[in-house]
């Protein structure tokens, strides 16, 4: 099968070595600077001793950082998306996750729960900035979940996840670990169930630069993700979907909720 058939059938595709080691090193350096400047930080309530207190997520860096904007609109990402989707999507978000040793992961979730792109869905480009495996908390994907509706959430284990909601794995489906090398990019459908475990390594980061996009047929997306851009950097006029928000809200590690419906979103 070609890449488009794999993406349609399994919900994701890994493009190996899309960015060079030199480019990755520059990304590491730049986000080290952004971390020192504390720009783009949105997570509150990080408790003392949590590794994410020193290395919080960075949201929407493309709005203030040229490297991030250039990456979001990079022609190589566009070319892969065109192979997978048949058309270029519209760019709406960037994020950077540091995930230092000892940091919690993010419970299984679906991105379009937050972006609310419709019709169609959102899609992601998730670039490994470090080699990643099970030990340091690589991405985990439920293969074939791209055709599911947006599922109701239940409480997550916040000893393992910095978010307190998750979606249960449907019967008959399994979670697979996606091991990657720095410079690889994981592309996946916004309905795909995915997440990651804690970084249990002694001394390895698991950094990632992430772009979110909406497919070309979408006419609206959550207000948080405006303004929307085409790959030439021009603003695209899309409607504002009601609701949605940041892709995963941070909660302190002292909270622990498992199996409790906390979605507040009704039927999905």
Q: What 3 state SS string does the chain have?
A: CCHHHHHHHHCEEEECCCCCHHHHHHHHHHHHHHHHHCCCECCCCCCCCCHHHHCCCEECHHHCCHHHHHHHCCHHHHHHHHHHHCCCCEEEEEEEECCCCCCCEEEEECCHHHHCCECCCEEEEEEECCCECCCCCCEEEECCHHHCCCCCCEECCCCCECCCEECCCCCCCCEEEECECCCCEEEEECCCCEEECCCCCCCCCCCEEEEEEECCCCCEEEHHHCCEECCCCCEECCEEECCCCCCCCCCCCCCCCCCCCCCCCCCC
Contact between 153 and 248 (Cβ < 8 Å):
no
Contact between 132 and 180 (Cβ < 8 Å):
yes
Contact between 89 and 81 (Cβ < 8 Å):
yes
Token representation of residue 24: 């990755």
Strand 239-241 vs strand 220-222: parallel, antiparallel, or unpaired?
parallel
pTM: 0.91
Percentage with pLDDT > 70 across the chain: 89
- Greater pLDDT, 242 or 252: 242
Does residue 102 register a pLDDT over 80? yes
Does residue 258 register a pLDDT over 90? no
User: What confidence score (pLDDT) does residue 246 get?
Assistant: 66
Instruction: Give dist(CA 100, CA 15) in Å, integer.
Output: 24
Mean pLDDT of the residues in the chain: 91
pLDDT tens digits for range 193-242: 999 999 999 999 999 999 999 999 999 999 999 999 999 999 999 999 98
Mean pLDDT over 82-105 rounds to 97
Contact between 268 and 162 (Cβ < 8 Å):
no
The CATH classification number of 3-241 equals 2.60.120.620
Q: Which residue has the tokens 């900035």?
A: 129
Q: How confident is the model at residue 111 (pLDDT cuts 50, 70, 90)?
A: very high
Q: How confident is the model at residue 243 (pLDDT cuts 50, 70, 90)?
A: confident
User: What confidence score (pLDDT) does residue 259 get?
Assistant: 35
Q: How confident is the model at residue 266 (pLDDT cuts 50, 70, 90)?
A: very low
Does residue 264 register a pLDDT over 60? no
CA dihedral 236, 241, 246, 251 (to 10 degrees): 180
Q: How confident is the model at residue 244 (pLDDT cuts 50, 70, 90)?
A: confident
14 bridge partner residues: 186
Mean pLDDT over 179-186 rounds to 98
- Domain ranges for the chain: 3-241
Least Cα distance to 117 among 193, 10, 215 occurs for: 215
Mean pLDDT over 77-101 rounds to 98
Instruction: Give dist(CA 197, CA 4) in Å, integer.
Output: 28
User: What confidence score (pLDDT) does residue 45 get?
Assistant: 57
Instruction: Give dist(CA 62, CA 51) in Å, integer.
Output: 24
- Greater pLDDT, 202 or 264: 202
User: What confidence score (pLDDT) does residue 97 get?
Assistant: 97
- Greater pLDDT, 253 or 101: 101
Q: How confident is the model at residue 267 (pLDDT cuts 50, 70, 90)?
A: very low
Which of 63-72, 126-135, 255-264 is predicted with the least confidence, judged by mean pLDDT? 255-264
Per-position b or e across 14-49, b if 16+ CB within 10 A of its CB: bbeebbeeeebeebeebbeebbeeeebeebeebeee
pLDDT tens digits for range 128-163: 999 999 999 999 999 999 999 999 999 999 999 999
């Amino acid at each position: 099968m070609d890449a488009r058939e794999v993406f349609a059938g399994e919900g994701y595709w890994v493009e190996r070595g899309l960015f060079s080691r030199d480019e990755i090193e520059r990304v590491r350096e730049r986000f080290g600077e952004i971390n020192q400047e504390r720009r783009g930080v949105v997570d509150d309530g990080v408790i003392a001793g949590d590794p994410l207190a020193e290395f919080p997520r960075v949201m929407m860096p493309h709005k203030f950082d040229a490297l991030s904007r250039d990456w979001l609109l990079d022609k190589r990402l566009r070319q892969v998306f065109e192979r997978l989707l048949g058309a270029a999507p519209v760019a709406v978000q960037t994020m950077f996750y540091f995930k230092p040793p000892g940091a919690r992961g993010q419970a299984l979730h679906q991105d379009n729960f937050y972006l609310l792109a419709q019709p169609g869905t959102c899609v992601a480009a998730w670039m490994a900035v470090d080699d990643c495996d099970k030990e340091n908390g690589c991405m985990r994907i439920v293969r074939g979940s791209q055709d599911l509706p947006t599922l109701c959430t239940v409480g997550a284990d916040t000893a393992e996840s910095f978010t307190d909601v998750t979606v249960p794995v449907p019967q008959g489906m399994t979670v697979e670990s996606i091991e990657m090398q720095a410079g690889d990019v994981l592309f996946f459908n916004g309905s795909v169930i995915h997440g990651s475990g804690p970084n249990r390594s002694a001394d390895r980061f698991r950094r990632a630069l992430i772009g979110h996009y909406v497919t070309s047929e979408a006419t609206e997306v959550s207000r948080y993700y405006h303004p929307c851009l085409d790959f030439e950097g021009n603003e695209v006029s899309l409607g504002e979907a009601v609701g949605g928000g940041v892709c995963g809200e941070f909660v302190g590690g002292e909270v622990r909720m498992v199996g409790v419906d906390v979605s507040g979103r009704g039927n999905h």
